[in-house]
Structure 1
Amino acid sequence: MTPRRGGAAGGRASRVRRAVILGVSVVLAAGALTASPASAYLPGPVDDPLRTAGVALAADAAADTGIAFGACPKDSGLAAPVQCGKVKVPVDYADPGGRRIDLLVSRLRATGPASGRQGALVFNPGGPGAPGLWFPAVGLKSAGPVTRKVWGTAARTYDLIGFDARGVGHSAPISCVRPENYIHAPSPDPRTANAAAQTRERAKARGIADGCGRRSASMLGHMTSADMARDLDVIRAALHETRLNYYGVSYGTYLGAVYATLFPRHVRRMVLDSVVNPDPQGVWYGANLSQDVAFEGRWADWRAWAARYDSVYGLGSTASRVQASFDLAMRKLAKKPAGGTVGPGELHAAAENAAYYDQRWVTFAHQLSRYLHGDDKPLVAAEAPDRSGAKAAENGDAVYLAVQCTDAAWPRDWGTWDRDNSRLALRHPFETWPNAWMNLPCATWPARAGEPVDVGAWSAELPPVLLTQSERDAATPYEGALELHRRLQGSRLVTEVGRGSHGLVSIWNACLVSRVDRYLTSGDVGDADARCAGHPVPVPSGTLGAKDANTGRYY
Structure 2
Amino acid sequence: MRDIRPKSRLLALGSAGALVTATLIAGAVSAPAASADSRHTHNREARGAEIAAARAAKAGVDWKDCPADWGLEKPIQCGWVSVPVDYARPHGKQIELAVDRIGNTGTPRERQGALVYNPGGPGGSGMRFPRRVTTNAAVWADVAKAYDFVGFDPRGVGHSAPISCADPQEFVKAPKADPVPDTEADKTAQRKLARAYAKGCAERSGGMLSYMTTLNTARDLDVIRAALGEKKLNYLGVSYGTYLGAVYGTLFPGHLRRMVVDSVVDPSRENIWYEANLNQDIAFEGRWKDWEDWVAANDAAFHLGTTRAAVQAEWLKLRATAKKSPIGGVVGPAELIAFFQSAPYYDSSWVPVASVFGKYVAGDTQALVDAAAPDLSDTAGNIASENSNAVYTAVECSDTKWPTSWRTWDRDNTRLNKDYPFMTWANAWMNLPCATWSGKQGTPVEVRTHKGLPGVLIVQSTRDAATPYPGAVDLHKRFKGSRLITEKDAGSHGVTSLVNPCINERVDTYLLTGRMDTSDVTCAPHATPKP
Pairwise same-fold verdict (TM > 0.5) = yes
Q: Which structure 1 segments of 5+ residues have no match?
A: 1-44, 541-555
Residue 89 of structure 1 corresponds to which residue in structure 2?
83
Deviations 1:69-128 (A, max 9, x none): 001122210021000000000000001111000000001000101101000000000000
Structure 2 equivalent of residue 131 of structure 1: 125
Match status 1:307 vs 2:319: no
- Cα distance in 2 for partners of 1:340, 1:179 equals 20
Return the letter of the residue paired with 2:431.
N
Matches of 2:355 and 2:458, distance apart in 1: 34
**What is the rounded CA distance, in whole Å, between the counterparts of 1:316 and 1:168 in structure 2?**
42
Equivalent residue, structure 1, for 2:65? 71
- CA distance in 2 between partners of 1:535 and 1:197 (Å): 42
Q: Matches of residues 134-283 of structure 1 in structure 2 within 5 Å?
A: 134-140=128-134, 142-143=135-136, 148-192=137-181, 194-283=183-272
> Which residue of 2 is the match for residue 415 of structure 1?
407
Worse-superposed segment, 122-131 or 378-387: 378-387
Gaps spanning 5+ residues in structure 2: where?
Answer: 1-38
Q: Whose relative contact order is higher, 1 or 2, with alpha carbons under 8 Å and at least 6 apart? A: 2
Letter paired with 1:191: V
In 1, are the aligned partners of 2:100 and 2:152 still within 8 Å (CA)?
yes
What secondary structure, in the 3-state scheme, does the structure 1 residue paired with 2:97 have? strand
Greater alpha carbon shift after TM alignment, 226-235 vs 129-138: 129-138
Inter-partner Cα distance in structure 2 for 1:410 and 1:528? 38
After superposing on structure 2, the runs of 4+ consecutive aligned residues of structure 1 that deviate more than 6 Å are none
CA positional deviation for 1:193: 5.2
CA–CA distance in 2 between the matches of 1:521 and 1:279? 30
Aligned to 2:482: 491
Q: Secondary structure of 1:274's partner?
A: strand
Question: Highest Rg: 1 or 2?
Answer: 1
**Helix, strand or coil for the counterpart of 1:426?**
helix
Give yes or no for contact 2:225–2:233 (8 Å, CA) kept in 1: yes
Identify the residue that residue 433 of structure 1 maps to in structure 2: 425
User: 1:51 pairs with 21, 45, 51, which one?
Assistant: 45
Spell out, residue by residue over 1:445-475, the C-alpha distance to the aligned partner (whole angstroms, 9 max, x if none).
11121001101141x4211000000100010
Q: Single out whichever of 216-225 and 178-187 deviates more from structure 2.
A: 178-187
Matched, 1:482 2:473: yes
The residue identity in structure 1 corresponding to 2:132 is V
Q: Is the 8 A contact 2:326 2:332 kept in 1?
A: yes
Give distance in 1, aligned partners of 2:118 and 2:132.
Answer: 13
Cα distance between partner residues in 2 of 1:406 and 1:242 = 30
**Mapped pair 1:517 → 2:511:** no
Cα RMSD (Å) of the superposition? 1.3
**2:520 is the alignment partner of 1:529:** yes
2:41–2:88 CA contact under 8 A, matched in 1: no
Per the TM alignment, residue 218 of structure 1 is displaced from its structure 2 partner at its CA by 1.1
Alignment of 1:334-413 (within 5 A): 334-387=323-376, 388=378, 389-413=381-405
1:450 to 442, 446, 459: 442
Q: Count matched residues.
A: 490
The answer to whether residue 286 in structure 2 is matched with residue 297 in structure 1 is: yes
Using the size of structure 2 for normalisation, the TM-score is 0.91
C-alpha separation between the residues in 1 aligned to 2:175 and 2:167? 18
> What displacement does 1:539 show?
1.7
Partner of 2:416: 424
Report if aligned partners of 2:163, 2:205 keep a CA contact under 8 Å in 1: yes
In structure 1, the partner of 2:32 is none
Comparing 115-124 with 194-203, which one deviates more in the overlay?
A: 194-203
User: Residues of 1 paired with 2:192 and 2:182: CA distance?
Assistant: 14
CA distance 1:160–1:429, change in 2 (3 Å): same
Identity of aligned residues (%): 53
Deviation at 1:46, TM superposition (A): 10
Asked if the contact 1:46–1:454 (Cα under 8 Å) also holds between the matched residues in 2, the reply is no
